[in-house]
Amino acid sequence: MKSSIKIVAGNSNRPLAEAIASYLDVPLARCQVKRFADMEVFVELQENVRGEDVFVLQSTSFPANDHLMELLIIIDALRRSSARRITAVIPYFGYARQDRRAAGRTPISAKLVANLITEAGADRVLTLDLHAGQIQGFFDIPTDNLFAAPVMVRDVKERLPGGNRMVVSPDVGGVVRARALAKRIDAPLAIVDKRRERPGESEVMNIIGDVEGRSCILVDDIIDSGGTLCNAADALLANGAKEVYAYITHGVLSGGAVSRIANSKLKELVITDSIQPTHAVALAKNIRVINIAPLMGEAIGRTATESSVSSLFD
């Protein structure tokens, strides 16, 4: 790896940053990110970065605003310290669900965050499984959206061998993602169609596809409260599915989500470490975390050497 690469980590996911640095055989740059008494963020780079190719690793996960400010201030510090190129590596891009105006008088916060990162001084962005692919167009700088699919495919083939697997999209909007995984593992596809006939009535889940006797694999990019996923698992089992697994890239798991998953009929929830797992996640018997450091590290290495990143997913 080029000696001119520097990797700077914020506080959002230090273990992932250390694993990526280890994969690349590059030490993390010395950088102090701390808070003043009033919780203002202060950043001090403790080594020279002039003329360097710098990668800033920071997921904008909970607390999202604190971690976003850390990212912006680190980028600003690097720009003012004459770094040659600054790449914001954001395994989990917060605010991605606010990618359009769903109602009147509402913001498009994903675009605002993209503007903030660009104006802070980032030269390019590297992220993983954006909630909506069009967010790449919100940036006026080069943006690479990586996919966790190769990591998940490898895990599925190791853990769930056999021909009765079926990939399921938990909603109509996630069909493209689910179809891509189904193609990679040579499995059929089913869709959970959610609808509420009238306001105030409970949601009805219809299954499009024959899941009878199948090991179903629910696929999505984000799990937050876990309610939709648990309801989808119940609907699949009610329609004759043998067992239900879930492979989700970003384990937001807010509120009582971990408890909800632990007490659900899901055989197993598999998430990546794009967001640092909490202690509750580590204790949950049916939640497993897979590592994305090799994928992110390889993409960073290819970016540094100006090699193809998209060929990682061919």
Residue list for the binding site for Mg(2+): 131, 171
For 66, the enclosing helix (H) or strand (E) is helix 64-80
**Cβ neighbour number for residue 85 with a 10 Å cutoff:** 16
Token pair for 285? 């018997």
Q: Residue positions in the annotated binding site for D-ribose 5-phosphate?
A: 196, 220, 224-228
Cβ–Cβ < 8 Å for 54, 85: yes
Cβ–Cβ < 8 Å for 169, 191: yes
For 6, the enclosing helix (H) or strand (E) is strand 5-9
Residue 302 CB partners (closer than 8 Å, separation 6+):
308, 309, 312
Query: Of 257, 274, 296, 288, nearest to 61 (Cα)?
Result: 274
* Beta pairing, strands 85-90 & 124-128: parallel
Dihedral angle of Cα 279, 28, 92, 221, to the nearest 10 degrees: -80
Q: Residue positions in the annotated binding site?
A: 38-40, 97-98, 131, 171, 196, 220, 224-228
Alpha-carbon span 133 to 110, nearest angstrom: 12
Amino acid at 109: S
Instruction: Give the residue numbers marked as catalytic.
Output: 194
Token pair for 181? 């995984």
Degrees to nearest 5, angle at CA 45 with 51 and 79? 45
For 282, the enclosing helix (H) or strand (E) is helix 279-283
Alpha-carbon span 164 to 184, nearest angstrom: 15
